[in-house]
Structures are given as C-alpha cells and as structure tokens.
Amino acid sequence: MEIKLHANATTTPRTRKYLQESTKSDRELAQELGISITTVRRWRNRSQISDNHTTPHLIHKVLRQEQEILINALRDALRAPLDELLFMVNEGLGIAISRATLNRYLRPAHEGRKNAAPQGKKALKAGMRADTLTLHYRQLALSMDDGGEHHLLWAQEPISGWCFGRIYSGISPALVDSWLTEALNACPAQIQCLETYAHKGFEPIRADLSCVTVMMEERGAVQLSERLADIIPALDEPDATLQRLCTLWNQGRAQKKLGDNTPQGFLESMNQN
C-alpha cells in the first residue's frame, strides 16, 4: 500500500519503523539519522508509520466574515506560518477547515509583517536577545449576549512568539499592574525591557525594568455584533478561551523556526544554556 507523505515530512516510513524498533537512545538516533530529537520522540510514541491526517473530517468550505477577520488577526498577532495557524484554527477555535481552504482566506501580508524582525534561531544568530515583552491593549465591543464592553490585555515576547493575554470586563491602573505581574511571572524569559503600545488607561510601568512607550494608540473599539459562540465553535467564556489559546500556542505545537521547540520550550531552553 502506498503511503503519501506530508509535504514537510523529514522521515520515510522505513525510517519511522526503524525508530520504533530501535533500542538506541533518542540522542543517538537523532545524530545517526540527522533529524531532531523531537522528531525521534514523535515517531517512537506512535504505533503507526503514516502521517496523521491534517484535514478534519467535517470541513467548512465557507467561513463567516467575522471568522475570516478573526483568523487573519490571529495570524498577524502570532506571526503564525500556515501549518501552525491551521493547528490554532482547528484545535483552538474549533473551526474545522482544510489547509487549502484556510490558505484561500488569508489576506496578503501587510508591509509591517513582511518587514518584521526575524524570530527564533535566525533572531539569535543576528544577536537579538529574548529579554523584551511588548504590551498591547484593545477595547472590545461585544454583543450583549457576551457581556458588552470588555478589555483585551496582551503581552508577547517577539523572538519566540510566546504570548500571554487576558480579557476583563473592566479596567483600572491596579488591574493593569496586576495583569503585568501575572504576565512577567508566567513568561519563561528573563525580561529586562517593556515596550508598550500605550492607550489611555493602559500605561503599565515597572521601576525595576526598562520601559519604553513605542507609540500611543487611540484606535476605536473592536466591534463584534455577532455572538462569539457563532464565530468560535470551541468558545468557553471570553477570558477562558483566550487563556486556552495562549497555552495552546505556547505549548501545543513545535515550530521549525524555533528549532523544533514550542515557544515555551524555546525560552526555557535558553535559560538552560
């Protein structure tokens, strides 16, 4: 029986069978075959030698306009390659869509994305350091079914893409300070600098860190007239959904640009060096 390999496959069925039957250590096999330890472990933990299906059983060929906007915003925020974005859409948002259909709904990359700084291993080779958090705020005007006005607070470490977000029904300087403490405690990187895209009521600072205001943003609220449950099939309540998405992105899937690490694993490995 012919086995069709995934386009990005780094192993053949014969190699996978060898990995599953070998008594050598993960490191020995990785060095012998010229593949990553992550790849070795992935195939040793599987019972089959064929690629997992990336196409969901139930496929939506048409997205709602709000879903299209959300997916493109998610791609821009995470700087996610297509396969990683597909993972977030299928597993995180619960929108069953194929890779080809997803690709058709993606807008051309804007200039800011095209000219963005390198990430992962390329960033480290360029001498960049994972010691900065960028801080963002957006007001959300949700439907009355979803509680009306909310506030999105978002922190991101640019080199790994690691992120931390919360959604609150109100906002105050004390809440922003508490959120920032939570973000700094959760981040695996040794943060030394905060770069804030400030907004009225959102100007977090820390006396023990270098704080830079990149710009003052006075954008209007993100308007959502549709119920979130109609846009996000896997919806919990807004804050719980955002926290789950952040955890999924940080820990759920290894990325090639991060040396076959998740964003969380990439930052943790830097602390060990």
Give the CB-side neighbour count of residue 170, counting CA atoms within 13 A: 4
Both structure tokens of 98: 């194929």
3-state secondary structure of 109: coil
pLDDT tens sequence across 235-264 = 888 999 999 999 999 999 999 999 999 999
Residue 260 has what pLDDT? 92
For β-strands 132-141 and 149-156, DSSP reports them as antiparallel
Q: Where are the alpha helices (DSSP H) in the chain?
A: 13-21, 26-33, 37-44, 65-78, 82-87, 99-105, 111-114, 120-125, 173-186, 228-231, 238-251, 263-272
Over residues 79-89, the mean pLDDT reads 93
pTM equals: 0.75
> Domain limits of the chain?
7-52, 118-272
Rounded to whole angstroms, the Cα distance separating 69 from 76 reads: 11
Rounded to whole angstroms, the Cα distance separating 187 from 193 reads: 13
Q: Which CATH architecture has domain 118-272?
A: 2-Layer Sandwich (3.30)
β-bridge partners, 167 = 152
Question: Per-residue confidence at 55, pLDDT binned at 50, 70, 90?
Answer: very low
pLDDT tens sequence across 185-204 = 999 999 999 999 878 888 88
pLDDT tens sequence across 7-27 = 444 577 888 888 888 888 888
